[in-house]
């Protein structure tokens, strides 16, 4: 594997044993670091490798390590020595030896790469609490799929979910939940799981295949964290686990209904604005949000003549929400007269002697309902990464609340005697 982020070439001891290089110069004082600059990588020796690429023979001194994400990494020392050039358009690689340049075709269907995710600092997770921990990854920047370590889950009673992580500068964060009544300790450098970096056209397939059992159990345990009685906790947990599907919020879903949101408007010309400028962290967050929304089918690229400006708004948890300024579109939208619930009526109904209450909360409720195909172009918004349009109901549209209420009222009509 050729890695421009590695300063030195590295090979694992296991890989070395499978070659003619049975021995290497042992040196226990070699200390390397991962790309994050924190996580140590112990080198146990050095070996001079002969690497034959097609008919071209090359040599390089490589560090020998116990564990690595790949069998062998050819770093910048190798790239500079042989003036190595990658042409991704032509899928070729050029190597210069003895004033001769050799061009070789690159395999366009490499095996899927799996990289370990290591804990950067030691951490203590308090009982019945969730902690987000900083981890190092073997890539500089990407959206990747995370899978928890099976061995770690067997050793330590912690819950981690399959999820999409955004890696920046070789680091990202992973949420850990401790469902036990005792604090749990994890030492620096421990492997929490692996990340996969498949081709873009495979991402949606991989996400759909992620098991949801861990996510369901994690959410159920969060809901039961306030129950101190172990017997009651166990009984309620057993009941909810038998009906775990509604507790899965690992991915957003789009409902199948016969009603769609429409955007009736009076006569007007399309509104178009320039994108708001975003820099640094906010620009990266915008790209991440756009990628996620496209991944789940909530937005798509658009050729619409409409273009409302989009901004990022920071939430209480310090994350960002994408907000589109639809004021111009709202000014020509015909009002939907469907009534919204009145707080006075709700309080009157709740006060009629009821003792027990349950509530249903939809994950990204608006995003579960689609917009009529003929009106989707009106929701187009502009960013520094291009123009997109919503396929599902966004916040900020004039008729979003009554349209959502109409759909929910229709769905819950059979439950009307005991539902508000």
Q: Is 163 inside any structural domain?
A: yes
Note down the domain range covering 132.
Answer: 114-196
Q: Is 172 inside any structural domain?
A: yes
Expressed in angstroms, the distance from the first to the final Cα of the chain is: 59
Q: How large a percentage of the chain has pLDDT more than 70?
A: 85
- CATH of residue 21: 2.40.70.10
Are 141 and 238 part of one and the same domain?
no
Distance CA 24, CA 41 (A): 18
Reply yes or no on whether the pLDDT at 41 is more than 80: no
Are 142 and 237 part of one and the same domain?
no
Q: Is 57 inside any structural domain?
A: yes
Reply yes or no on whether the pLDDT at 80 is more than 70: yes
Tokens of 165: 């992580």
Could you report the per-residue pLDDT of 7-33, keeping only the tens digit for each?
Answer: 888 888 877 777 765 566 666 566 777
What is the rounded average pLDDT for all residues in the chain?
A: 80
For 309-319, what is the mean pLDDT?
84
Specify the DSSP class assigned to residue 277: P
- Using 50, 70 and 90 to split pLDDT, how confident is the model at 215? low
- Characterize the bridge pairing of strands 141-148 and 320-324: unpaired
Tokens of 143: 């959206």
Burial class (CB in 10 A: 0-12, 13-18, 19+), 30: middle
Are 285 and 414 part of one and the same domain?
yes
- Using 50, 70 and 90 to split pLDDT, how confident is the model at 200? very low
- Using 50, 70 and 90 to split pLDDT, how confident is the model at 327? very high
Distance CA 40, CA 34 (A): 6
Q: What backbone torsions phi and psi does residue 83 show, to the nearest 5 degrees?
A: 45, 45
Query: Cα dihedral angle (139, 145, 151, 157), rounded to 10 degrees?
Result: 110
Specify the DSSP class assigned to residue 270: P
User: What's the confidence (pLDDT) of residue 341?
Assistant: 81
- CATH of residue 383: 3.10.10.10
Please work out, in degrees rounded to the nearest 5, the angle formed at the alpha carbon of residue 243 by the alpha carbons of 241 and 245: 100
Closest CA to 394 of 261, 305, 281, 255: 261
Query: Cα dihedral angle (11, 14, 19, 20), rounded to 10 degrees?
Result: 100
Reply yes or no on whether the pLDDT at 384 is more than 50: yes
Distance CA 391, CA 368 (A): 10
Query: How many distinct structural domains can be found in the chain?
Result: 4
Distance CA 38, CA 136 (A): 8
Reply yes or no on whether the pLDDT at 318 is more than 80: no
Q: Is 206 inside any structural domain?
A: no
Are 42 and 151 part of one and the same domain?
no
User: What's the confidence (pLDDT) of residue 24?
Assistant: 63
For 155-165, what is the mean pLDDT?
83
Q: Is 261 inside any structural domain?
A: no
CA distances from 20 to 17, 43, 63 (A): 7, 20, 16
Distance CA 260, CA 101 (A): 61
User: What's the confidence (pLDDT) of residue 206?
Assistant: 35
Kindly tell me the sign of the dihedral angle through the C-alpha atoms of 368, 372, 373, 378: negative
Are 397 and 295 part of one and the same domain?
yes
Q: Are 196 and 206 in contact (CB under 8 A)?
A: yes
Q: What backbone torsions phi and psi does residue 29 show, to the nearest 5 degrees?
A: -100, 10
Are 291 and 411 part of one and the same domain?
yes
Are 308 and 363 part of one and the same domain?
yes
CA 227 to chain centre: 31
Are 101 and 119 part of one and the same domain?
no
Which of the two residues, 95 and 140, has the higher pLDDT score?
95
Reply yes or no on whether the pLDDT at 314 is more than 50: yes
Could you report the per-residue pLDDT of 220-260, keeping only the tens digit for each?
Answer: 877 787 787 888 888 888 888 877 777 776 666 776 777 88
pTM metric for this prediction? 0.48
- Characterize the bridge pairing of strands 92-97 and 320-324: unpaired
Are 85 and 120 part of one and the same domain?
no
Q: Is 270 inside any structural domain?
A: no
Q: What percent of the chain is helix, strand and coil (3-state, nearest 5)?
A: 25, 30, 40
């Amino acid at each position: 594997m050729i890695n421009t982020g590695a300063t030195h070439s590295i090979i694992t001891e296991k890989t070395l044993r499978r070659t003619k290089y049975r021995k290497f110069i042992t040196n226990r004082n070699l200390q390397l670091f991962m790309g994050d600059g924190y996580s140590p990588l112990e080198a146990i020796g050095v070996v001079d490798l002969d690497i034959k690429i097609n008919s071209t023979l090359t040599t390089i001194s490589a560090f020998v390590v116990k564990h690595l994400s790949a069998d062998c990494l050819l770093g910048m020392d190798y790239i500079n020595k042989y003036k190595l050039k990658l042409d991704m358009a032509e899928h070729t690689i050029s190597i210069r030896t003895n004033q001769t340049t050799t061009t070789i075709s690159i395999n366009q269907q490499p095996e899927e790469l799996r990289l370990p995710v290591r804990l950067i600092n030691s951490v203590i997770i308090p009982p019945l609490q969730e902690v987000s921990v900083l981890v190092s990854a073997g890539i500089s920047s990407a959206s990747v799929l995370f899978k928890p370590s099976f061995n770690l889950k067997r050793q330590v009673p912690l819950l981690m979910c399959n999820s999409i992580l955004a890696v920046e500068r070789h680091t990202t964060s992973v949420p850990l939940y401790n469902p036990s009544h005792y604090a749990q300790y994890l030492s620096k450098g421990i492997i929490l799981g692996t990340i996969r970096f498949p081709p873009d056209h495979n991402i949606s397939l991989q996400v759909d295949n992620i098991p949801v059992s861990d996510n369901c159990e994690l959410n159920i345990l969060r809901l039961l964290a306030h129950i101190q009685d172990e017997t009651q906790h166990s009984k309620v947990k057993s009941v909810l686990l038998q009906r775990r599907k509604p507790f899965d919020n690992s991915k957003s879903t789009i409902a199948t209904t016969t009603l769609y949101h429409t955007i009736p408007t009076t006569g007007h010309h399309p509104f178009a604005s320039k994108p708001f400028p975003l820099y640094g962290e906010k620009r990266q967050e915008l790209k991440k949000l756009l990628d996620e929304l496209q991944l789940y089918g909530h937005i798509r690229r658009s050729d619409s003549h409409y273009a409302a400006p989009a901004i990022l708004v920071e939430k209480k948890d310090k994350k960002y929400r994408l907000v589109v300024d639809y004021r111009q579109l709202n000014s020509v939208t015909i009002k939907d007269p469907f009534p919204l619930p009145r707080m006075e009526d709700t309080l009157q109904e709740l006060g009629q002697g009821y003792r027990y209450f349950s509530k249903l909360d939809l994950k990204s409720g608006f995003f579960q309902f689609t917009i009529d195909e003929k009106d989707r172009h009106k929701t187009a918004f502009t960013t520094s990464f291009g123009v997109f349009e919503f396929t599902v109901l966004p916040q900020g549209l004039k008729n979003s609340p009554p349209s959502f209420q109409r759909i929910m009222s229709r769905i819950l009509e059979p439950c009307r005697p005991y539902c508000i």
